[in-house]
Amino acid sequence: MEWVGVGTTTAVNRPLPLAALLTLFAPACAAEPEPAGDDPLDEADASFGSGKADGVAASCPVLKLANSADFATLDDDVALNKQAAQGIIDWREGPDGTLGTADDRWFADLAQLDAIKHIGPKALQRLQAYVTDEGIVCGEVAVQLLAFNDFHGNLRPPSGSSGRIQTGPNPTTDRVDAGGVEFMATHVQALAATNPNTLVVAAGDVVGATPLLSALFHDEPTIESMNLLGLDIASVGNHEFDEGPEELLRMQLGGCHPVDGCRDGDDFAGAAFSYLAANVIDTDSGEPLLPPYEIRRFGNASVAFIGMTLEGTPLVTTPSGVAGLQFLDEAETVNALVPELRAQGVEAIVVLLHEGGFTTGLFNECVGISGPLFDVVQNFDDAVDVVVAGHTNAAHVCEIDGKIVTSAASFGRLVTDIDLVVDEASGEIVHKSANNVIVTRDVAQDPGQTALIGRYDAFAAPFANRIVGSITASIVRAANLAGESALGDMIADAQLAASAAAGAELALMNPGGIRTDLVFEQVSGGEGLGQVTYGELFAVQPFSNNLVTLSLTGAQLEAVLEQQWRVSGMGELAVILQPSATLAYRWDPTRPLGDRIDPASITVAGVALDPARSYRVTVNSFLADGGDGFSVLREGTERTGGALDVDALEAHLAALSPYAAAAATRITRL
């Protein structure tokens, strides 16, 4: 894969005719001229602005004209000769010879303009005279960013607590139903209508861990939906690597799936938006897997967008998905790019970072912040102005170390409206503010999104709406104080039952792989209350991991359980594995790491754990490869492959319907 340069550049404003140039900005730029010296521009005309290539304020109107005018304006109105006018256009077009593409260039200073063939003293004088006569000036440009994160292919409105935003202190009554791309698109359109200089950006996990409607087609519906939404730029997140780098590149570039083809019957064009991956390095080439940044221009103002995922992506992704890739430190990556961007005349920098933290406040507050995001931001160069974050599904608007730091929950429930004012002469952001807007469902549904969902629904309905069982009440993934959940227990039991032929004695499930609740009231395909469709079940476990049964000694099993607590960038982290009914133990939070569990309390099928004995343990393929930091599981021997995790859950639910969840008492916290 070869990308144009190190980053990519796109001019948002297309070549402008005279009438548009005259109405863009009112206030003039002011600067004291420097004394004339030996610069060739001084010899051309000592009255030409500052007379220096870095006389930014005075040269800004001329650069604005050169960067924005079309050929006719330069040739006829400015009265440049045709070669000079075409030379300016050719330079702006970049290597591909087309304006409005990723390799477009602009003049950052007068030296670059003066270097164009056929541009000499007379051409510079005519450009200066034209901007003076026509009143073309530099001023302040209002730029709007509409940001979101962790969409995870939720084209339909998410259900249960995943489809609500808390608006007040009482989580039971102070809440609003939110999300659904048909409503999200309408909100985005309304916000974009308030400012012609609007970009839609995302901070990772646009795809991956998606509901069946998207996952069944390898997330092509989500990419097509984002194209309709007008998404411009997205950073990669850890879930963009669920199916490996080749599949991520297919999401960007298009083409049918190498195994399943294009299941909807036509070709897949790929993303119309740009994926950025500044800190993801292809170890073979030593280069970023995708462009590290993109620069967008508004008038004569430029804003750089650096995109990246969390450095810890390999810890939360199937190892095969990140094979051959290196994930660099977030702050070091950004800080190394700042000089490169400044050399291109860029002062306004926005980072799209798929890393998060935690807050205790409401969706527009910055209360009780903690976690790695805020540590990373503190280490960013002061040149960074805005950080759009994700990964932890938090919702906040913060100001940290002079930077706006936002996150918009998940699943399209919020859109962050970020308003910037950029000075065209200095390139600096002189004002910035942000506000999280709830994607309420009381607006009209976008017809384009409705049509897209309907089209894929027609293909997916036979799979998605099939009833697979029933439940007596909602079964949720929220954990108790010990770290155990009713839905986690159900999944672990299902995996144990599915691997009985492999001799499994217990099963363990990672909580991060449980993506939503089974909601009694949810009706997604015309089924009755309490009935569960395959689509609803798939939404709980959308990764299609295979089950793996492996052998561990009792000592190794105890070591696996101790790995549930560890130190990370956010301090101490707990990842409590969900146990099958055959495993029980007690743990004490006051004991040191590595010794939280009382070994005498661990039982398998009611019998005390024997450190020397071999036990058959079932996990999904993600855990079997050491996912979530459970490295001891990689030591497991006598591995036997099994069913898909979602198929195991379906069989378990069908066998026990109507399913009633038991109290979660397998893990005891002292």
- pLDDT band for position 57 (50/70/90)? low
Going by DSSP bridges, is the β-strand pair 667-669/395-400 parallel, antiparallel, or unpaired?
Answer: unpaired
Mean pLDDT of 19-31: 35
The structure's pTM equals: 0.81
Tens-place pLDDT, residues 170-215: 888 999 999 999 999 999 999 999 999 999 999 999 999 888 899 9
Token pair of 482 as six digits: 């010990």
- Mean pLDDT, the chain, rounded, equals 90
pLDDT tops 60 at residue 61: yes
Radius of gyration (C-alpha) of the chain in whole angstroms: 28
Phi, psi of 616 (to 5 degrees): -95, 120
Mean pLDDT of 472-493: 97
Please write down the long-range contacts of 260-268, taking CB distance under 8 Å and 24 or more positions apart.
260/218, 262/220, 263/216, 263/217, 263/218, 263/459, 264/217, 264/220, 264/455, 264/456, 264/459, 268/220, 268/223
Higher pLDDT, 52 or 196: 196
pLDDT tops 50 at residue 20: no
- pLDDT band for position 225 (50/70/90)? very high
- pLDDT band for position 7 (50/70/90)? low
List Cβ neighbours of 103 (8 Å cut-off, separation of 6 or more). Answer: 4, 5, 8, 9, 94, 95, 96
Q: Do 132 and 372 meet the contact criterion of CB atoms below 8 Å apart?
A: no
Mean pLDDT of 503-519: 95
Residue 451: its pLDDT value, please? 98
Q: Is 467-669 in CATH node 3.30.70.20?
A: no
Q: Do 337 and 371 meet the contact criterion of CB atoms below 8 Å apart?
A: no
Mean pLDDT of 244-272: 94
Tens-place pLDDT, residues 98-136: 988 878 889 988 999 999 999 989 999 999 999 999 999
Domain spans in the chain, listed from the N-terminal domain onward = 8-138, 141-438, 467-669
pLDDT tops 70 at residue 21: no
Mean pLDDT of 335-351: 96
- Distance, CA of 347 to CA of 305 (rounded, Å): 11
In this structure, which topology does domain 141-438 adopt according to CATH? Answer: Purple Acid Phosphatase; chain A, domain 2 (3.60.21)
Q: Write down the residue that tokens 């003293």 correspond to.
A: 121
Residue 570: its pLDDT value, please? 57
pLDDT tops 50 at residue 441: yes
Give the other-Cβ count within 10 Å of 665's Cβ.
12
Residue 9: its pLDDT value, please? 62
Q: Write down the residue that tokens 């039991």 correspond to.
A: 493
Residue 376: its pLDDT value, please? 97
